[in-house]
Structure 1
């Protein structure tokens, strides 16, 4: 895993894509096999397509980028697939006080991930810390798509990569769209793509014994319970134990509750609900859970292209336990 040294990072030069001038309506593919054409929905029955980006400068085209996938997290979307393979899972608040996940993959690509859902404006700021990431998502609010098209990332909706997506059985639309990651990334990116600023190693001094932590959104709830037997934090969603579709309990090694500003954005859903914007650049307080203990720490991310640094009160960097990390953004 990466340490605090971020180094100079060259980013792909991109041209701004033309604004979308029309949106078409398409029929959804309904099979879990083959390479069906699957539409990307923006929540209003309309579908937007991310525009292709400019080619990478010479020497960068073969450098692997990591994969970030927007994942549905309402009750109808569970159990989810492939989350246990992610290196980092971010949880954010969305419209109506609900939650959505962003799973980040660098060291392992599962066979399938999902259900895949739409992107949000604050995802663009969060993803700036990575070198030219690939973002897999079902679509976005129509006025947001031009910003996504101009962002320094490779936006991959079902319309741009239809062979990478499929509709699974057992759930209804829109909670049944899945991704085959290997059809977007030819190789596993590797740990060097994780430019998060996270450090891994021995636990910091101090802390308090802690066996359970709950984070509440207006209409969603995360609970992390320490398992001494597994040496992991077991995840529960909305009061129920959470496991993957193949029965594996979600169990990160480290959980970070990061207290951030959550403000209104310029975007709304089809019901008129404002989309919250989670501010991940700046500084504030956080709680790090590892090894059955809780540590009250500080976080800092000076600019969008930086990873996030976590330090104790005296400025000592905080190490995470080796394994999956969950970062839950909570309102400061």
Structure 2
């Protein structure tokens, strides 16, 4: 009899544990929380309804910015090829994440969407109250996001704009941009400070350029036939979800200070902070050539100026720009 009671008690405890686990998973998905993808993720929280709201209509069109998962299991990406600017940054564990900026085109779908980081807030100050779409953030970071001059659009306050696609969470969360930015912002929303036009004189013929993080790398290979740089990630050609190769007319390798932030992921790894205000050196790639240039951004609300040694602005080729932040030597 005692044995029967012990068995029933064990079954009851297992049932209770299973029920609690199922409830926790359901709540996490409903809140748009991100789960760990190894040592490179701390996005376990999901912000409450932003005090600033998610609608971009209050002050006119503003850029849409989406945090993009760049783990190998999250590829191929959807909608990244439609971005006007793609920023690549280092995150925990030496891995990488993308930030895609949309102004002149809004794709039907973007993703997979992932969590925000502290240094994103400094980078985004160059835009006029942008809409930031992301899946969550560390709990201690959420108050800073709420106070930042941006509109947070998350599964918590814009649930109908997000959906789960094929694959495993958290690498399968996608955004329908038109549900949070119903109108294409337009070129005026791109307050990056970038100049476009004819290539500067000089430069060095360059076929390929690789930027390495401790746990990730980006390679850009020039294609004469396409007049663009072919994007590669971690030794593999980067393609879109429909099989098209990802390309960029202009690539900027910007050398910046990467330091420890005040935040750590749930495994205890420190979150790198990428400083984008200040000055330093960079390399601009376009037309199969490379130019060693200087960059300067005096304050967070400014765009970034790229100039030659004599102070002449460096023109980018018309079209999408990839900016890869690399740790300054």
Query: What TM bracket, shorter-length normalisation?
Result: 0.7 to 0.9
Q: Deviation per CA, 1:213-253, whole angstroms, max 9, x where unpaired?
A: 00000000100000000000000000010101111111011
1:207 maps onto 2:200 in alignment? no
Per the alignment, residue 86 of structure 1 pairs with: 83
Q: How does 1:284-323 map to 2 (within 5 A)?
A: 284-323=280-319
Residue 135 of structure 2 aligns with which residue? 138
Q: Which runs of 5+ in 1 are unaligned?
A: 1-23, 31-36
Aligned pairs for 1:70-219 (under 5 A) are 70-169=67-166, 171-219=167-215
Q: For residues 59 and 278 of structure 2, what CA distance do their matches in structure 1 show?
A: 33
Tell me the CA shift for residue 52 of structure 1. Answer: 2.3
Partner residue in 2 for 1:5: none
**1:283, CA displacement in angstroms?**
0.1
Which residue is equivalent to 1:270? Answer: 266
CA shift at 1:54, angstroms?
Answer: 4.2
- Classify 1:38/1:243 alpha carbon distance in 2 versus 1 (closer, same or farther; 3 Å): farther
8 Å Cα contact 1:210/1:293 also seen in 2: yes
Equivalent pair of 1:29/1:166 in contact (CA under 8 Å)? no
* 322 and 90 in structure 1: CA distance in 2 versus 1, 3 angstrom threshold: same
The answer to whether the 8 A contact 1:26-1:47 is kept is no
CA distance in 1, matches of 2:281, 2:49: 38
Of the three residues 257, 260, 265, the one matched with 1:261 is 257
Whole-angstrom distance in 1 between the partners of 2:83 and 2:53: 28
Large movers: runs of 4+ above 6 Å: none
Note the alpha carbon deviations across 1:85-115, whole angstroms, 9 max, x for none.
Answer: 0000000000000000000000000000000
| Aligned-residue offset at 1:45 | 8.8
Q: TM-score, with normalisation over the residues of structure 2?
A: 0.88
The CA distance in 2 between the partners of 1:28 and 1:174, in whole Å, is 14
- CA-CA distance at 1:155 after TM superposition: 0.7
For the residue of structure 2 that corresponds to 1:222, the secondary structure is strand
Alpha-carbon RMSD: 1.9
Change (3 A) 1:45 1:155: closer
Aligned mate of 1:53, from 41, 51, 54: 51
SS of the equivalent of 2:221 reads strand
- Which residue, 226, 229, 232 being the options, matches 1:230? 226
Q: Structure 2 CA distance, aligned partners of 1:83 and 1:219?
A: 21
Segments of structure 2 that go 5 or more residues without pairing to the other structure are 1-22, 37-41
Deviation at 1:29, TM superposition (A): 9.1
Structure 2 Cα separation of the partners of residues 228 and 85 of structure 1: 21
More helix by share: 2
Rg bigger for which structure?
2
Deviation at 1:49, TM superposition (A): 1.9
Using the TM superposition, give the Cα deviation of residue 25 of structure 1 relative to its aligned residue in structure 2, in angstroms: 4.8
State the alpha-carbon separation in 2 of the partners of residues 131 and 25 from structure 1: 37
Distance of aligned partners of 1:253 and 1:265 in 2 relative to their CA distance in 1, 3 Å threshold: same
Task: Work out whether residues 29 and 167 of structure 1, in 8 Å CA contact, stay in contact via their aligned partners in 2.
Answer: no
| Residue 39 (structure 1) aligns with | 32
Relative to structure 1, the CA distance from residue 51 to residue 159 in structure 2 (aligned partners, 3 Å threshold; closer, same or farther) is closer
Alignment CA distance shift 1:251-1:25 (3 Å) = same
Match of 2:11 in 1: none
